[in-house]
Amino acid sequence: MADKKIIDEKTLDALLQLSRLSPESTNMEVLKAQVNQIAEYFDILSQYDDSENPYDAYPSTKAEVLRDDSVVQGLEIPDVRKMTPEFMDGYFRVPKVLGEGA
Protein backbone atom coordinates (compact mmCIF):
# COMPACT_ATOMS: atom_id res chain seq x y z
CA MET A 1 0.00 0.00 0.00
CA ALA A 2 2.98 2.26 -0.45
CA ASP A 3 1.67 3.96 -3.61
CA LYS A 4 -1.89 4.78 -2.65
CA LYS A 5 -4.05 5.15 -5.74
CA ILE A 6 -6.86 7.69 -5.55
CA ILE A 7 -9.80 7.54 -7.94
CA ASP A 8 -9.88 10.66 -10.10
CA GLU A 9 -12.98 12.46 -11.37
CA LYS A 10 -12.79 10.92 -14.85
CA THR A 11 -12.74 7.38 -13.43
CA LEU A 12 -15.54 8.23 -11.01
CA ASP A 13 -17.69 9.59 -13.85
CA ALA A 14 -17.09 6.39 -15.83
CA LEU A 15 -18.10 4.31 -12.80
CA LEU A 16 -21.27 6.38 -12.40
CA GLN A 17 -22.18 5.81 -16.04
CA LEU A 18 -21.52 2.05 -15.81
CA SER A 19 -23.57 1.72 -12.63
CA ARG A 20 -26.40 3.87 -14.05
CA LEU A 21 -26.16 6.34 -11.19
CA SER A 22 -26.67 10.04 -11.67
CA PRO A 23 -24.44 12.58 -9.95
CA GLU A 24 -27.53 14.40 -8.70
CA SER A 25 -28.87 11.37 -6.80
CA THR A 26 -25.50 10.41 -5.28
CA ASN A 27 -23.34 12.07 -2.67
CA MET A 28 -20.15 12.27 -4.69
CA GLU A 29 -17.79 12.65 -1.73
CA VAL A 30 -19.19 9.59 0.03
CA LEU A 31 -19.12 7.58 -3.18
CA LYS A 32 -15.55 8.64 -3.93
CA ALA A 33 -14.45 7.62 -0.42
CA GLN A 34 -16.18 4.24 -0.78
CA VAL A 35 -14.58 3.56 -4.18
CA ASN A 36 -11.15 4.52 -2.79
CA GLN A 37 -11.73 2.13 0.13
CA ILE A 38 -12.58 -0.69 -2.30
CA ALA A 39 -9.42 0.07 -4.30
CA GLU A 40 -7.41 -0.16 -1.07
CA TYR A 41 -8.85 -3.64 -0.46
CA PHE A 42 -7.53 -4.71 -3.86
CA ASP A 43 -4.09 -3.37 -2.92
CA ILE A 44 -4.18 -5.50 0.24
CA LEU A 45 -5.25 -8.58 -1.73
CA SER A 46 -2.52 -8.09 -4.31
CA GLN A 47 0.13 -8.53 -1.59
CA TYR A 48 -0.72 -12.23 -1.25
CA ASP A 49 0.99 -14.82 -3.41
CA ASP A 50 -1.39 -16.27 -5.99
CA SER A 51 1.16 -18.22 -7.99
CA GLU A 52 -0.04 -21.64 -6.82
CA ASN A 53 -2.50 -23.63 -8.84
CA PRO A 54 -6.07 -23.02 -7.57
CA TYR A 55 -7.04 -26.55 -8.59
CA ASP A 56 -4.66 -27.98 -5.98
CA ALA A 57 -7.33 -27.28 -3.36
CA TYR A 58 -9.61 -29.93 -4.85
CA PRO A 59 -9.02 -33.65 -4.47
CA SER A 60 -7.78 -35.36 -7.58
CA THR A 61 -9.07 -38.67 -8.86
CA LYS A 62 -6.79 -41.11 -10.55
CA ALA A 63 -8.27 -43.24 -13.31
CA GLU A 64 -6.60 -46.42 -12.10
CA VAL A 65 -8.26 -46.07 -8.67
CA LEU A 66 -11.76 -46.13 -10.13
CA ARG A 67 -13.77 -49.34 -10.12
CA ASP A 68 -13.66 -51.68 -13.09
CA ASP A 69 -16.33 -51.43 -15.73
CA SER A 70 -17.38 -55.02 -15.53
CA VAL A 71 -20.76 -56.41 -16.50
CA VAL A 72 -22.49 -58.24 -13.66
CA GLN A 73 -25.63 -60.30 -13.67
CA GLY A 74 -28.74 -58.30 -12.76
CA LEU A 75 -31.88 -59.47 -11.01
CA GLU A 76 -34.09 -61.98 -12.75
CA ILE A 77 -37.82 -61.32 -12.99
CA PRO A 78 -38.77 -64.20 -10.63
CA ASP A 79 -36.38 -62.76 -8.02
CA VAL A 80 -37.96 -59.32 -8.36
CA ARG A 81 -41.46 -60.81 -7.94
CA LYS A 82 -40.33 -62.28 -4.61
CA MET A 83 -39.23 -58.85 -3.34
CA THR A 84 -42.65 -57.19 -3.41
CA PRO A 85 -46.27 -58.07 -4.08
CA GLU A 86 -46.63 -54.77 -5.99
CA PHE A 87 -44.98 -56.11 -9.15
CA MET A 88 -47.39 -56.54 -12.06
CA ASP A 89 -46.77 -57.08 -15.77
CA GLY A 90 -43.07 -56.28 -15.51
CA TYR A 91 -43.58 -53.00 -13.58
CA PHE A 92 -43.70 -51.91 -9.96
CA ARG A 93 -47.10 -50.61 -8.93
CA VAL A 94 -46.77 -47.38 -6.92
CA PRO A 95 -49.35 -45.10 -5.26
CA LYS A 96 -50.99 -42.52 -7.49
CA VAL A 97 -49.36 -39.14 -7.06
CA LEU A 98 -51.33 -36.91 -9.42
CA GLY A 99 -55.03 -36.36 -9.61
CA GLU A 100 -57.45 -36.31 -6.70
CA GLY A 101 -54.91 -37.60 -4.20
CA ALA A 102 -52.55 -34.64 -4.66
- H/E stretch holding 59 reads none
Does residue 90 belong to any structural domain of this protein? Answer: no
Q: What is the pLDDT of residue 3?
A: 57
Q: What is the pLDDT of residue 1?
A: 43
Does residue 66 belong to any structural domain of this protein? Answer: no
Q: What is the pLDDT of residue 100?
A: 66
User: Which residues does the chain have with pLDDT short of 50?
Assistant: 1-2
Note down the domain range covering 18.
9-45
Does residue 18 belong to any structural domain of this protein? Answer: yes
Does residue 15 belong to any structural domain of this protein? Answer: yes
Does residue 3 belong to any structural domain of this protein? Answer: no
Q: What is the pLDDT of residue 4?
A: 62
Does residue 14 belong to any structural domain of this protein? Answer: yes
Does residue 93 belong to any structural domain of this protein? Answer: no
Does residue 82 belong to any structural domain of this protein? Answer: no
Report how many domains make up the chain: 1
Q: What is the pLDDT of residue 29?
A: 84
Angle between helical axes of 28-45 and 9-18 (0-180°, round to 10): 100
Q: Counting beta carbons within 10 angstroms of the beta carbon of residue 39, is it exposed (0 to 12), middle (13 to 18) or buried (19 or more)?
A: middle
